[in-house]
Structure 1
Amino acid sequence: MPSSPARVRRAEVRANTILSPGMRRVTLGGDDLLAYPTTGSPDEYVRLFFPDAAGAEPRLPRVVGRGWEFDAGIAPSPMRTYTVRAHRPGEIDIDFVRHAGGLAAEWAEGARLGAPLGVSEPFAQYTPAASATRITLVADATALPAVERIIEAAPPGTRIRLFCEVADPRDARLPAAAAHTDAVSATWVHRSGNGRFASRVADIVLRAELATDGSESVWVAGEAAMTRRVRRHLRHTLRFPADKTHVVGYWTDNEAAWRARFDALGAEHRARLDTLYGAYADATEAGREAVLDEIYALYDSVGL
């Protein structure tokens, strides 16, 4: 853990590389990252604060508790959350899914060497289950950076099974270490999900055999509707052990329409959600699963 107070740091682009038709890697470095910390978790993520225009400086907030705030009269910089694909002394790699219309994706497409960006200190959510001998990963392209880190960090002897949907077959990739072991198997669902096609990966996972005896853990990340569907199957159909599941929605397909429906909720539903969000924040790790059940049940009842 860092000994100095947490802060948002100024980083600069050190490299910008196309990995595949659907993925671009931006390497960030600079003096402010010389002592940049790491959580060590394979799902490590950061908040990125973007400038208003190419070459402009981003406005950096002050860290306050687990959040941040900008000085009075300062307009907040646009912010997005991304996985840290790799961490080296003084540098981190961030992989961006390539698509039109996204603030972060468009910044990455045009980011030149030296372009500035604000970077929070890293956070993490995922703690691998020590007793699991097999890990099943369910993902779309946005979760591939975390998938690769999970595979790289897995203890020797761990069997890993991946179900991942990608828009282009050329986006299907695993870390180099996975190419030299038969402990990792991958099912790639091409031309599926990722905001371009109907998602099909959940249908495949729902037919897969999963061990509910505690020997297997399941990690799921990607589009929110897909992850909720898989979570519902794990939790309510299979009664999968809660301590062996980790499910997180990274993004929402057609988010503008979803947000419009959310904003149109009546006062009673909004008040109930506020109460549940507060309960989730205060709950223990085990208690959060029950709160999520209530939140998602309410979402389903109002078409969210």
Structure 2
Amino acid sequence: METTTAQSTPPVPPSPRGPKKPRKQAVLEVLGKTRLSPRLLRVRIGGEQYSHLRRSTQADAYVKLLIADPASGLQPPYDLDALREDTPELLPARRTYTVRHWDDEAQSLDLDVVLHGHGDDSGTAARWADEAQPGDRIALMGAGGGYTPEGSASSHLLIGDHAALPAIAASLESMDPEATGLVLLHLDEEEDLLELTRPAGVELRWVIGPRERLLEAVTALDLSAGTGLQVFCHAERALTKQLRRVLVADAGIPRDQISISAYWALGRIEDQFQAEKREAIGKIDE
């Protein structure tokens, strides 16, 4: 009987980058809270580990909060790999929030959190923010970001809803004083209107009521002179897809002049929303 000698497969050389390092967590403390409107709460957090955050200079800089169920008994920082392996049901929820203000000198940052619902219906992050007390510890990762108003832009168009209000407010404050443009901001209720600092040449229009009115307001704009126009457009996912068609397919604004993505999706918690970004339902660009 003929025999063959098994040949061993040569070992795969290790990746030159080595194993992926876990993201560093910054464990900060709640320093205070300010109610900006009936449905918008500002939470100031800070502490010695502020420097652990990758400080972003983008106007739409964001961080991810790690919020553990109080009943779990977990305290930050979290060993996410061990939890994922042994007790995935205890993994802290991740929630993404725009940094409204950075204060490097005071080693603190402000997060503006939209409050919606009551009790268990309010959402993980909204409930955390509403119940947070000075001295409470919270773990964060980040920061990310990808948009800042360009001084070379001929004009600016910023479109968003309540969730995008902090990013739009921060963007307006970062603009050149001579900048021109238009902001369309949707709110469910007029009582949540805020005074926003902005260049004199940038008009602010509030769109109050059903979110479909934001699409109507954008559709009614004359966008034929889109050369040099820089656009920031972030809202609920289904609405953002419709806005993308108006801006790109209909108005013909070059895609590289537009910062556009969904900040949230109706009927989805963030874990589902983030996972669906890899699927057809979660894609904004067609």
* TM-score category of the 2 structures, normalised to the smaller one: 0.7 to 0.9
State yes or no: 1:84 paired with 2:99: yes
CA 1:157–1:212 in structure 2 vs 1: closer, same or farther (change >3 Å)?
same
How many residue pairs are counted as aligned between the two chains? 252
Moved more, 139-148 or 152-161: 152-161
Q: What is the alpha-carbon distance in structure 2 between the residues aligned to residue 219 and residue 202 of structure 1?
A: 14
Taking the aligned partners of 2:57 and 2:219, their CA distance within structure 1 comes to 31
Structure 2 CA distance for aligned equivalents of residues 54 and 22 of structure 1: 26
Q: Of Structure 1 and Structure 2, which has the larger fraction of its residues in helix?
A: 1
Gap regions ≥5 residues in structure 2: 1-21
Shift in CA distance, 164/144, structure 1 to aligned 2, threshold 3 Å = same
Out of 121, 124, 127, the position equivalent to 1:106 is 127
Instruction: Give the 3-state SS of the residue equivalent to 2:144 in structure 1.
Output: coil
Alignment of 1:132-143 (within 5 A): 132-143=153-164
Partner of 1:47: 64
How far apart in 2 are the matches of 1:61 and 1:206? 46
Quote how far apart the aligned CAs of 1:37 are. Answer: 4.0
> Offset of 1:124 from its aligned partner?
0.8
Match of 1:26 among 33, 38, 43: 43
1:137-156 counterparts in 2 under 5 A? 137-156=158-177
Structure 2 counterpart of 1:123, one-letter code = G
Partners of 1:221 and 1:118 lie apart in 2 by 26
Secondary structure in 1 matching 2:134: coil
Contact 1:51 1:57 in 2 (8 A): yes
3-state SS in 2 of match to 1:173: coil
**Aligned amino acid, residue 229 of structure 2:** E
Give per-residue Cα distances to partners, 1:190-236, cap 9 Å, x unaligned.
2333xxxxx31011101111254422111101111111111011111
Contact 1:167 1:191 in 2 (8 A): yes
Q: 1:57 touches 1:117 (CA, 8 Å); kept in 2?
A: no
TM-score, structure 2 normalization: 0.79
8 Å Cα contact 2:38-2:192 kept in structure 1: yes
* Aligned twin of 2:5: none
Question: By how many angstroms is 1:96 displaced?
Answer: 0.4
2:214 maps to a residue whose letter is V
The CA RMSD over aligned residues, in Å, is 2.9
Could you list the runs of 5+ residues in structure 1 that have no partner in the other structure? 63-67, 194-198, 264-272, 281-290, 295-304
Cα displacement (A) at 1:105: 0.5
- Displacement, 1:21? 0.7
Q: Distance in 2 between matches of 1:59 and 1:165?
A: 36
Residue matched to 1:223 = 236
Q: Give the deviation of 1:122 after TM superposition.
A: 0.2
Alpha-carbon distance in structure 2 between the residues aligned to 1:13 and 1:158: 35
In 2 relative to 1, CA 292–21 (structure 1 residues): closer, same or farther, beyond 3 Å?
A: closer
CA shift digits 1:246-291 (9 cap, x unpaired)? 11101111227xx79x99xxxxxxxxx66x79xx9xxxxxxxxxx8
The 5 A counterparts of 1:269-284 are none
Partners of 1:54 and 1:111 within 8 A in 2: no
Q: Which amino acid aligns with 1:145?
A: P
Aligned equivalent of 1:209, options 207, 213, 222? 222
Deviation of the 1:61 alpha carbon: 4.7
Please tell me the residue identity of whatever aligns with 1:118.
Answer: A
Match of 2:24 in 1: 7
Structure 2 distance, partners of 1:202, 1:173, is 21
2:175 matched to 1:158?
A: no
> Offset at 1:242?
1.3
User: Which residue identity lines up with residue 176 of structure 2 in the other structure?
Assistant: P
Structure 1 stretches of 4+ with a deviation exceeding 6 A read: none
Residue 123 of structure 1 corresponds to 144
Secondary structure at the residue paired with 1:189?
strand
Partners of 1:136 and 1:184 in 2: CA distance:
9
* Aligned mates of 2:257, 2:35 — CA distance in 1: 35
- Distance in 1 (CA, whole Å) between partners of 2:285 and 2:208 is 31
Which of residues 190, 208, 213 is equivalent to 1:190?
208
Match of 2:259 in 1: 246
Q: Secondary structure at the match of 2:233?
A: strand
Question: For structure 1, which segment, 16-25 or 155-164, has the greater mean C-alpha deviation from structure 2 after superposition?
Answer: 155-164
